[in-house]
Chain A
Amino acid sequence: MVGPKKIKLPLSSEDVAGLKVGDLVLLSGNIVSGRDRMHKYLVEKRPAPDDIPFNLSGAVIYHCGPVIKKVDDNYMVIAAGPTTSMRVEMYEAAVIREYGIKGIIGKGGMSGNTLRALQETGCVYFNTIGGAAVYLADRIKKILDVWKLDEFGPTEAMWLFEVDEFPAIVTMDAHGNNMHRDIEELSLRKFSELTR
């Protein structure tokens, strides 16, 4: 097996185009967290870019609700694995198009609408390791900023993280491939045999 591709964020259009389903990657640079409530807010309220304290254009969104500890005036990331991406399927295509998102990190994969948006805009979905929360928290080097902390709380807020060699696998690419769909189709065939 080929070793992982080391990628510096932000992702360029060339980076995205060059990534294919099955590629192992180590991501370094800035990512933002965002899960259920943030996706609903972004799509329902459509906040203007000026209202968001950091630039989402070209950003990578990590589906994650971390455990954060406040020590004096500083925040520490204690645990930060991915959450199930399918719960934001109804919002993700709009978020990608509206805000110019170039990468998604999550777990479990997503569906048709998101896949189409990835293909049309040049964006990629990375699957990281569900439950490996301590291991992944240690890949987060710094908290740079946070948005909506008071209103949404630490789990649902948008955190701006600096990560170093954050491991993931490309499972949905900008060329219309979806590894989750392929595995599901194979397992469905086996399922039919087993339950005939």
Chain B
Amino acid sequence: MLKLRDGIVELYKKVATSIPPDIEEALKSAYKNEISGSVAGSSLGIILENINLARKTVRPVCQDTGIPVFFVRVPAGLSHVELKKSFVEATRIATERIPLRANAVDIITEKNSGDNTGTGFPVIYFEEVQGGTLTIDLMLKGGGCENAGRIYKLPAEELNAQRDLDGVRKCVIDTVQKAQGRGCPPYVLGVGVGGSVDQVAVLAKRQLLCKLTDTNRIGELVKIEERLLREINQLGIGPLGLGGESTAIGVKIGVNHRHPASYFVDVSVSCWATRRGRLIW
């Protein structure tokens, strides 16, 4: 599978050194919305210049090249074990060649593996699909914004959040309010709602793969996403957390069925440098 490995190295390069067009467009709109010459406006100006500079000089947009997360849709019959080998090998090569920052640290020894591979590193989610197309989505998820994420178990009395969609809305605003500027706003928020902790965390992260221009298939969620985006931008946190109109550029919500007793909400925060890309094989 030599060719696939090289394809993944190229995917790494594209994802680390550029910003997807929908995100860049949203940042440009945010820039136009801020008062020219304000801290928020000038910061977004530098952010846009940084995006251009990274693309032109093929350098990582952010020094934190993140934790690599693969979401892979695999046609029946293709070996997951073999695929994983290609991902790991591509990760080693990409780390040295681009370069990426080595981010995989051993919990016991505190030693950095030096090549972004280790136990559970990179993160890989496989899903078997019908048809013959292998689809690989790669996200490079920065640590600062990953730390800003939160999980809730509804009802949450301190938020006056009940077990309904309005409760979900309160959780998302709470996450942003508590994150302030620490995870590099303007943010994209991925939200997962359902009945088991492990599932909602992955579901939330998976929402970050959606383009900002995509429309949720569930009408009720479209309304909440729009309302949340409007309300989050009223918080006044702004780019860098130093005040301004643009605190978020997108909210995407995914739902699973839940157990009658359980109502979990996971909010995954993504920085303005939301880096994702797809390879179709």
Q: Which residues of B contact A130 (CB under 8 A)?
A: 144, 181, 184, 240, 271
- One of A66, A127, A190, A195 near B63 (C-beta < 8 A): A66
Minimal Cβ-Cβ distance residue in A for B180: A184
Question: Are B112 and A195 in contact (CB-based, < 8 A)?
Answer: no
Question: Are B159 and A64 in contact (CB-based, < 8 A)?
Answer: no
Q: Which residues of A contact B243 (CB under 8 A)?
A: 183
- One of A86, A131, A138 near B271 (C-beta < 8 A): A131
Question: Are A131 and B273 in contact (CB-based, < 8 A)?
Answer: yes
A22 and B60 CA atoms in complex are apart in Å by 29
Q: A130-B240, A133-B63, A183-B241 are in contact. Are A1 and B37 (CB under 8 A)?
A: yes
Q: Which residues of A contact B160 (CB under 8 A)?
A: 195-196
Interface residues of B in 131-177 (CB under 8 A from A): 142-144, 147, 159-161, 170, 173-174, 177
Q: Which residues of B contact A28 (CB under 8 A)?
A: none
A179 and B65 CA atoms in complex are apart in Å by 29
Minimal Cβ-Cβ distance residue in B for A128: B240
- One of A127, A133, A180 near B62 (C-beta < 8 A): A133
Interface residues of A in 56-102 (CB under 8 A from B): 64-67, 69, 78-81, 83-84, 86-87
Q: A64-B63, A169-B242 are in contact. Are A190 and B234 (CB under 8 A)?
A: yes
Question: Are A86 and B114 in contact (CB-based, < 8 A)?
Answer: no
Q: Does B100 contact A (CB under 8 A)?
A: yes
Question: Are B235 and A190 in contact (CB-based, < 8 A)?
Answer: yes
Q: Which residues of B contact A153 (CB under 8 A)?
A: 102, 112, 114
A67 and B100 CA atoms in complex are apart in Å by 7
Question: Are B59 and A131 in contact (CB-based, < 8 A)?
Answer: no
The tally of residues in A whose CB lies under 8 Å from a CB in B reads 49
- One of B38, B112, B142, B242 near A171 (C-beta < 8 A): B242
- One of B234, B236, B240 near A127 (C-beta < 8 A): B240
Stretch in B3-11, B44-52, B77-85, B260-268 with 4+ CB within 8 Å of A: B44-52
Q: Which residues of A contact B103 (CB under 8 A)?
A: 155
Question: Are A195 and B174 in contact (CB-based, < 8 A)?
Answer: yes
Interface residues of A in 115-157 (CB under 8 A from B): 127, 129-135, 137-138, 153-156
Q: Which residues of A contact B143 (CB under 8 A)?
A: 83
What 0/1 pattern do residues 98 to 133 of B give for CB contact below 8 A with A? 011111000000101010000000000000000000
Interface centre among B46, B63, B182 (most CB of A within 10 A): B63
Q: Does B237 contact A (CB under 8 A)?
A: yes
Q: Does B231 contact A (CB under 8 A)?
A: yes
Q: Which residues of B contact A167 (CB under 8 A)?
A: 46
Q: Which residues of A contact B241 (CB under 8 A)?
A: 108-109, 180, 183
Q: Does A194 contact B (CB under 8 A)?
A: yes
Q: Which residues of A contact B183 (CB under 8 A)?
A: 84, 108
The distance from the CB of A49 to the nearest CB of chain B, in whole angstroms, is: 25
Q: Which residues of B contact A78 (CB under 8 A)?
A: 59-60, 63, 99
A135 and B101 CA atoms in complex are apart in Å by 17
A24 and B161 CA atoms in complex are apart in Å by 40
Q: Which residues of B contact A52 (CB under 8 A)?
A: none
Question: Are A134 and B181 in contact (CB-based, < 8 A)?
Answer: no
Q: A67-B101, A129-B240, A131-B184 are in contact. Are A191 and B173 (CB under 8 A)?
A: yes
Interface centre among A66, A78, A109, A131 (most CB of B within 10 A): A131
Q: Which residues of B contact A67 (CB under 8 A)?
A: 59-60, 63, 65, 99-101
The distance from the CB of A46 to the nearest CB of chain B, in whole angstroms, is: 19
A69 and B47 CA atoms in complex are apart in Å by 23
Minimal Cβ-Cβ distance residue in B for A184: B180
18 examples of A-B residue contacts, CB within 8 angstroms = A65-B63, A67-B63, A78-B99, A81-B63, A84-B144, A108-B144, A129-B47, A129-B50, A131-B61, A131-B271, A138-B53, A154-B102, A183-B181, A186-B236, A187-B180, A190-B234, A194-B234, A195-B173
Residues of A within 8 A of B (CB): 1, 22, 24, 37, 64-67, 69, 78-81, 83-84, 86-87, 107-109, 127, 129-135, 137-138, 153-156, 167, 169, 171, 179-180, 183-184, 186-188, 190-191, 194-196
| A-B complex: 7 closest residue pairs judged by Cβ atoms | A108-B182, A130-B184, A79-B63, A135-B50, A133-B63, A132-B50, A187-B235
New contact pairs (12) apart from A80-B63, A130-B271, A194-B234, CB-CB < 8 Å = A37-B110, A65-B64, A66-B63, A107-B181, A129-B240, A133-B50, A134-B54, A153-B102, A155-B112, A183-B180, A186-B236, A195-B159
